[in-house]
Chains A and B, each alone.
Chain A
């Protein structure tokens, strides 16, 4: 009979065992965690910084930091959320260094009113994917998200691109759930506004 048996209702995340092994010095276990999350961490860093070289450096630094601080990971949260939090902090720090005169934090730009009241009422149905090739669409998506203030961009990325829950997003960013919700709404509305402009132009430029 195993001495420790987790109750059926409380499923243990497989990462818990990997983290325990990594803490005990098993590098193969740590490497598996790296394999699992390196792409996600890279994407998050690239979304926030909008720069590929920065994203590469941040990904390396985030894993190094996680490795060094592994003892501090208590397992109260998911390992992935903890890792994302480290990567977000590294990314915001990088942005801060880039704009030497200006500070960048999660609190910046939240007062922006644009996007609170929708203005563009053009429909863009059916699905825009049918009118664009993959590269063209990716380019539009990059440009529109680039225009968002970092605070909104980060919330939108974690919530709607990386599919974190509202609670996980709040935890990763050190924000309250209501703050995440209000930023998410603004970010979604601002992106909608920007995409509407692109897709309306395309529709007007190409009469049926």
Chain B
């Protein structure tokens, strides 16, 4: 496996959709290639940091306002 191959499997790797064989090939490659190791680690961190942070949180006030507006609109259509 070379660097380009590794990159093409990166998303499937994170989504746990690779065969054991391919996973092992990736481990072998990253053991000897620092660039790919860094790309793999930091891409993983990128996904995790977005997953773990609600960057557009809906406050209770906004939610209530939104909810009332939605229901008013829908009920007016009946």
Contact = CB atoms under 8 A, between A and B. Distances in A.
B19 interface: no
A180 to B, nearest CB: 10
- Tell me the interface secondary structure of chain A in the complex: helix
Contacts, number: 117
A64 B77 contact: yes
Contact of A42 (B15, B34, B55, B56): B56
A141 B49 CA distance: 8
Interface residues of B, number: 39
B43 interface: yes
B51 A43 contact: no
Question: When A and B form their complex, which 8 residue pairs have the shortest distance between CB atoms, in order from nearest?
Answer: A67-B74, A185-B11, A192-B46, A46-B56, A63-B70, A192-B43, A118-B39, A141-B55
Interface of A: 27, 30-31, 34-35, 38-39, 42-43, 46-47, 55-56, 59-60, 63-64, 67-68, 117-118, 121-125, 127-129, 134, 137-138, 141-142, 145, 156, 160-161, 163, 166, 181, 184-185, 188-189, 191-192, 195-196
